[in-house]
A and B are shown apart, each in its own frame.
Chain A
Amino acid sequence: MPSHRMPSEADIISTVEFNHTGELLATGDKGGRVVIFQREPESKNAPHSQGEYDVYSTFQSHEPEFDYLKSLEIEEKINKIKWLPQQNAAHSLLSTNDKTIKLWKITERDKRPEGYNLKDEEGKLKDLSTVTSLQVPVLKPMDLMVEVSPRRVFANGHTYHINSISVNSDCETYMSADDLRINLWHLAITDRSFNIVDIKPANMEDLTEVITASEFHPHHCNLFVYSSSKGSLRLCDMRAAALCDKHSKLFEEPEDPSNRSFFSEIISSVSDVKFSHSGRYMLTRDYLTVKVWDLNMEARPVETYQVHDYLRSKLCSLYENDCIFDKFECAWNGSDSVIMTGAYNNFFRMFDRNTKRDVTLEASRESSKPRAVLKPRRVCVGGKRRRDDISVDSLDFTKKILHTAWHPAENIIAIAATNNLYIFQDKVNSEMH
Chain B
Amino acid sequence: MEFKLEAHRIVSISLGKIYNSRGQRGGIKLHKNLLVSLVLRSARQVYLSDPCPGLYLAGSPAPPQPGEPAAGGGGPAGCQALGASPLKKPRRHLEEQPAGAAAEEEEEMETGNVANLISIFGSSFSGLLRKSPGGGREEAEGEESGPEAAEPGQICCDKAVLRDMNPWSTAIVAF
Contact = CB atoms under 8 A, between A and B. Distances in A.
B95 A204 contact: yes
B96 interface: yes
Interface stretch (B74-82, B84-92, B117-125, B128-136): B84-92
Interface string B1-20: 00000110010010001000
Interface string A48-92: 000000000000000000000110111101000000000000000
Interface in A277-335: 316, 319-320, 322, 325
A238 interface: no
B25 A75 contact: yes
B114 interface: no
Interface stretch (B28-36, B54-62, B165-173): B28-36
A98 interface: yes
A208 B95 CA distance: 12
A163 B26 CA distance: 13
Interface string A137-181: 000000000000000000000011101000000000000000110
Main SS of chain B's interface residues?
helix
Interface residues of B, number: 30
Contacts of A35: none
A73 B23 CA distance: 10
Contact of B91 (A74, A207, A263): A207
Contacts of B162: none
Given A75-B26, A161-B26, A266-B38, A325 B91 contact: no
Contacts of A265: 35, 38-39, 42
A207 B31 CA distance: 10
Contacts of B48: none
Interface stretch (B97-105, B138-146, B152-160): B97-105
Contacts of B32: 325
B69 interface: no
Contacts of B27: 70, 72-74, 98, 161
A98 B31 CA distance: 13
Interface residues of A, number: 32
B43 interface: yes
Given A70-B100, A159-B100, A98 B26 contact: yes
A212 interface: yes
Given A75-B25, A262-B42, A265-B39, A205 B31 contact: no
A204 B92 CA distance: 6
A121 B26 CA distance: 49
Nearest to B28: A72
8 contacts: A72-B26, A73-B26, A159-B100, A210-B30, A229-B34, A262-B39, A269-B31, A322-B17
Interface of A: 69-70, 72-75, 77, 98, 159-161, 163, 179-180, 204-205, 207-210, 212, 229, 262-263, 265-266, 269, 316, 319-320, 322, 325
Given A72-B98, A73-B25, 19 more contacts: A70-B100, A73-B26, A75-B26, A98-B26, A161-B27, A161-B29, A180-B30, A204-B91, A205-B86, A207-B91, A207-B95, A229-B34, A229-B35, A262-B39, A265-B35, A265-B42, A319-B10, A320-B13, A325-B35
